[in-house]
Structure 1
């Protein structure tokens, strides 16, 4: 263990601290107290909690292209594919003991005479939430639908649902732990009274929303397993991009956050926001059969414990109020459950905005779940926002930056060998895997003279192995130290006498944690770790930079 005055880990230390820590011996000792926290509840969790287990193999729902071709080629004439791994029964609906005998599984052609995957492309307005608490996923679908080509990568548009070439087999693609994987389903969908009970499209002819939800449910083992989740995970799963989550109470400078949201929106990033559930009553969706029955709108027209899509960010000039910052939000219910405060659809304040500005905003007055509100009200009403970009945003200005190089390395924490835990025990911490990051050129345009912008992500293995258990998410984090000896692993003595150059912060059981930093050319060691020692797991380190760099494991 370290010695001296306790000091929590932080990314930035005064230069004189670093100068005093370049060696050992008489230099001041360092004690770092690493901390951990649990990821917050989303508010959509059901009455039953899916059991967790350690990661095993991670192939639940994932198939290879050869398997899909085999399935297609072995269908008889006029035979429609039936997925034995995700059958049309209650086992695909629920992981708990609940049974719903009234559900009928029907194919799209049984619900519409000419069903299509897409009708006139994809749009955020296509997404309508059903009787399932998965708005974290559907709000992400609506966000990504602003770029139809991305949705069509997840759900290829050349798949037919009736007529020539129809087989009843549908393929979707998701990004899982560093690679795009295929998920194969049949197109039988759960219905009641000839209507879809879960997600659907706004147009009854269009089925991409229902199909991608079913494929995602298969990856998770059941529809019920989609109850409660992190929007940033869904955003990454459908883009392969980088998603960051911001807790509003931890953002002291709301002006900078607005600038980030504005630029992110203008540059094509995907944004979701969620509200916490203040009502302490037990979640009752699984008991009543419809998540929406347990989650009513409040006096402002908003839903507690609910995820929304941020579909627009803008500023307008009001004839009396001057410049007003606005945020456009969409409820995946796609109903009249909308904000009824200032700048709502019917608010008189819109009369003070010019027609040209209204036209640019694309303002409508429909009961479609989409509405504008002031940025101040938005900050007061929402507690979390997730922003996903397809590539790294080094300078945090909402724009995807030019990438000079991207590298990823997968590794493993092995009990008794390389699962050392946090720096609360320097001796054990030193046994964690260590990766050498070598930076040779500064990036003056991005980060100022003499430094290079670096974005580092640590993702833990999350692909499911079993239908009735989820993968236990470990509290993870990473630390970056500078080194003068690039061929050698860092020892406990180094941690006792050196401050870190960067850190992901408090250990947390998210799938991925990220950190941006500006580093001088030189050699650095990235150390991924779990908070507690002897926690086995697989992980992946992702590094992005505008300039070329080298990344390799130190043995």
Structure 2
């Protein structure tokens, strides 16, 4: 075998049994390794030695560099169920217009300034006329994507429900959020998490919007971060009720309506209220903040103590944290014997270490059920548990220990790991070293791209020839970190387009991943031969149909190629590459 590509291409691996469930069962992430791989070395005696390794093979011995053939057998996994999927599963289709719920009028297509376009919309209303959203009408088509109907629903505006309604009363708080009969705890637990920083919620729902009296028009503006930009969603303030009571999300304060209205705006963005049943908390937190969210599986964490340290520092530094419960989602309408709801998303509202007179130091987690009811943990360290008597009163006061039946409770971290299956952490900026602190960002860059069948939709490395056609992006790391002699911390993410195709169909989420290869030639794409003889220097892991996949890398200065890929070839889709680093870097698309 000479230099470069072999004249005879390696045999194509059979592409079968592609889609496999997450190996740890429903609700578990796949392992970190990106594939089953082997290093095949042909010796001078023509014997074959196969070394199986789940770790990255950076390079081969110099005398064998021309004789190393990379062999991979890549697999993909489906994202886990969230626990509150509805009785009717939303059908998936190909991406279409991508603008569902987002008025082109309000993102600069007609007016150069958003505020001008919103004001123009309001001024078209006659005196005493209230805005009615024709794109999201007050009828069953807004609530259901399935064929279900409900004749008992009445749509009412806030001023028809209470006197002097307000968007916010004394600002936003996690305690405001109360879930209704819709299975969108993943979204509402995220709202409660982000509410720890009211200014962020007010960016999503600007507070200077009247719900009655002077300046009231019935039009409400919300903003969400979608695929790299903040977009505006306009709705009217008509809300579904029964017997004069809101049937979906509401605030604990009857005269406060930000929770109900932001849920309606998010439902419009998804097509219907019903489409919000079942989702990923990490996606909701990103939509509410524009930040970066990562998911940690309890069963996949080798050292849960390290995870606790990460949660503790993240909480102290203002990160937003949610968690979801193990169990059968079909039982999600009631609490179990522990007072917890199976297949349900919660907000992590506090992380603390306490001192007990007999037990010593105990790692604790405070959890909030978005039901905001008396369904609370009743095990060790429950609100009325006698163990609290061994904790100094000053510390109990600081932790806000109470016996309120409000759905919020403390529990030990050991019990938390036993009862919950995953925890998601969202930061406004990158946390390169995973220490819970948002690090200084020297640069943030993003480039959008597309997988085009027959051109750039090459799929996985199960077929190297096709894989080599995927889009390639050059990342040039210019200098190491100040406290690192050799490497620079870089956070890389690939996000697939996630807006809806139409009201009754969701965009099919592709199994995606990305790979990072070092290159000596920054002016050219990596050729096919490179993949035959080199393993990657970094990867996001197993292909999975998450909206965004991330990886932290410690890279020595030099040139690298990022290759976003779908698992199956010829899969059309749009994507965005996001790169964050505390030091200067360059990012550009390599010519095809």
TM-score relative to the length of structure 1:
0.94
Selected match of 2:437 from 399, 417, 430: 399
| Deviation for aligned residue 1:463 | 1.1
Higher relative contact order (CA 8 A, sep 6+): 1
Check 1:464–1:24 CA distance in 2 against 1; reply closer, same or farther (3 A cut).
Answer: farther
Instruction: State whether residues 60 and 68 of structure 2, in contact with CA within 8 Å, keep that contact through their aligned partners in structure 1.
Output: no
Kept after mapping to 1: 8 A contact 2:189/2:370 = yes
Query: In 2, distance between residues paired with 1:207 and 1:8?
Result: 58
1:24·1:493 contact (CA, 8 Å) conserved in 2?
Answer: no
Equivalent residues of 2:94, 2:501 under 8 A apart:
no
- Alignment map for 1:292-371 (pairs within 5 Å): 295-371=333-409
The aligned counterpart of 1:289 is none
Deviation at 1:490, TM superposition (A): 0.7
1:18 aligns with 2:62: no
Q: Which residue of 2 aligns with 1:186?
A: 236
8 A Cα contact 1:105 1:190, kept in partner: yes
Q: 1:435 to 1:76 in 2, by over 3 A?
A: same
Match runs of 1:379-458 below 5 Å: 379-445=417-483, 448-458=484-494
Q: Does 1:512 align with 2:548?
A: yes
Give the C-alpha shift of residue 266 in structure 1: 0.3
Deviation string, structure 1 residues 185-212 (Cα, Å, up to 9, x no partner) = 0000000111100000000010000000
The structure 1 residue matched to 2:163, chosen from 64, 89, 113, is 113
Matched position secondary structure for 1:237: helix
Map Cα deviations across residues 368-420 of structure 1 (whole Å, 9 max, x no partner): 00000000000000001100000000000111000000000000000010000
For the 8 Å contact 2:326–2:419, the answer to whether it is kept is: no
Once the 2 structures are TM-superposed, how far is the Cα of residue 20 of structure 1 from its aligned partner? 3.9
Shift of 1:35: 1.9
In the alignment, structure 1 residue 253 sits paired with structure 2 residue 289 = no
Distance 1:400 1:124, change over 3 A: same
1:75-119 C-alpha deviation (Å, 9 max, x unpaired): 000100000000010000100111111110000001110100000
Q: Which residue of 1 is the match for residue 557 of structure 2?
A: 521
Distance of 2:524 and 2:248 partners within structure 1: 55
1:472 maps to 2:505 = no
Q: Out of 89, 92, 99, which is 1:59 matched to?
A: 99
Q: Aligned partners of 2:190 and 2:70: how far apart in 1?
A: 43
CA offset digits 1:3-61 (Å, max 9, x no partner): 85488896744xxx42548x997231111222210001111011101110111121001
Shift of 1:341: 0.1
1:8/1:381 CA distance change after superposition, 3 Å: farther
Distance 2:586 2:53 in 1: 26
Give secondary structure in 2 for the equivalent of 1:255. helix
CA distance in 2, matches of 1:67, 1:111: 29
For the residue of structure 1 that corresponds to 2:69, the secondary structure is: coil
Residue 290 of structure 2: which of 230, 240, 251 is its match? Answer: 240
Check if 1:482 corresponds to 2:518: yes
Q: Deviations over 1:488-520 (max 9, x none)?
A: 111121011112110000000000000001000
The answer to whether structure 1 residue 39 and structure 2 residue 79 are counterparts is: yes
After TM superposition, give the deviation of residue 70 of structure 1 in Å.
Answer: 3.0
Write out per-residue CA displacement over residues 225-284 of structure 1, whole angstroms, 9 at most, x where no aligned residue: 0000000000000000000011111112100000000000000000000013336x5x8x
> Residue in 2 aligned with 1:290?
none
Q: Is 1:503 aligned to 2:543, yes or no?
A: no
Residue 242 to residue 127, structure 1, CA distance change in 2 (3 Å): same
Query: Unaligned 5+ residue runs, structure 2?
Result: 1-8, 12-38, 41-49, 107-113
Matched, 1:97 2:182: no
- Mapped to 2, the partners of 1:278 and 1:537 lie a distance apart of 33
Maintained 8 Å contact 1:407/1:551: yes
Equivalent residue of 2:401, what SS?
Answer: coil
Are residues 1:535 and 2:571 paired?
yes
The partner residue of 2:187 within 112, 137, 142 is: 137
- Is this contact kept in 2: 1:175–1:239, CA < 8 A? yes
Indicate if the aligned counterparts of 1:273 and 1:309 stay in contact, CA closer than 8 A. yes
In the alignment, the residues of structure 2 paired with residue 122 and residue 107 of structure 1 have an alpha-carbon distance, to the nearest angstrom, of 21
Native 8 Å contact 1:422 1:529 kept in 2: yes
Per the alignment, residue 545 of structure 1 pairs with 581
User: How far apart in 2 are the matches of 1:101 and 1:7?
Assistant: 65
CA contact (8 A) 1:422 1:531 kept: yes
- What are the Cα deviations for residues 460-479 of structure 1, in whole angstroms up to 9, with x where unaligned? 00111310000100000000
State the match for 2:6 in structure 1: none
Q: Encode CA deviations 1:286-334: one digit per residue, 9 max, x unaligned.
A: xxxxxxxx62100100000100000000010100000011000000000
Paired positions, count: 537
Distance 2:474 2:445 in 1: 12
Structure 1 partner of 2:202:
152
Aligned to 2:410: 372
| CA shift for structure 1 position 143 | 0.1
Q: Distance in 1 between matches of 2:556 and 2:460?
A: 25
The match for 1:48 is 88
Q: Quick one: distance in 2 between partners of 1:20 and 1:472?
A: 43
User: Per the alignment, do residues 229 and 240 of structure 1 end up closer, same or farther by CA in structure 2, a change over 3 Å counting?
Assistant: same
